[in-house]
Amino acid sequence: MTKQYVLGADNGKTGCLVFLDTDTGRIEEIQWYPNDSAKRLYELIEKYKPVYTVLEKPFMGPGFKNVASTNFEILGRYAQVLDMLDLKYDAIRAVTWRAKLKIKAKGRQQQKEASIQTAAQLFSEEDYMKLHSEWKSINKELHKKEVHCTPNDNMCESALIAYYALQIWREQQ
């Protein structure tokens, strides 16, 4: 039997596409949104042909005008590619997937931290480590470079959107 996938995508230039295997719920692929090429977005989605996709709708609010307009443009690209490939998808608000996954936090920073904690609980240790980013700093006392690995909130939120998509897809089966 051919593997099937769901896709969760957080909009924005720092958003990710996360593909989950529908049988195991494991993370198959994580990719940053390809800002440089609509063709790369098409090729990536075509490669996995997700049976169901959830896209996060952009938030419109004070202070988010430019961010939201970019996110609407990106949402349009996703919708266009998914329509071209004749794939099923829904665009939902962040409050919808957060409520389903019982993430209760007020304020952007607290929501990001709660998303990281929820991802740590829902995914295997191996998959959770895939949601980490490396970054470098210089230790001035020791005069050397250090490499750090910490959970990436954008990856975690995209993975949680994919997890939400998997739950909805399974409920519909």
The larger pLDDT score, comparing residue 126 to residue 14, is at 126
Q: What is the pLDDT of residue 59?
A: 66
Q: What is the mean pLDDT of residues 96-120?
A: 93
Closest CA to 169 of 5, 45, 15: 5
Confidence of residue 75 (pLDDT cuts 50, 70, 90): confident
Q: What is the pLDDT of residue 63?
A: 56
Distance CA 15, CA 155 (A): 7
pLDDT surpasses 90 at 138: no
pLDDT surpasses 60 at 156: yes
Give the distance from CA 80 to its chain's centroid: 18
Distance CA 67, CA 84 (A): 26
Indicate the residue type of 108. R
Q: What is the pLDDT of residue 83?
A: 93
Q: What is the pLDDT of residue 62?
A: 57
Closest CA to 77 of 110, 39, 108, 51: 39
pLDDT surpasses 90 at 103: yes
pLDDT surpasses 70 at 135: yes
Alpha helices in the chain (DSSP H): 38-48, 65-84, 94-100, 108-122, 125-130, 153-172
pTM of the model: 0.88
- In degrees and rounded to multiples of 5, residue 41 shows phi and psi of -60, -45
How far are the Cα atoms of 27, 80, 95, 161 from residue 119, in angstroms, in the given order?
A: 12, 29, 16, 10
Arithmetic mean of pLDDT over the chain? 89
pLDDT surpasses 70 at 60: no
DSSP 60: -
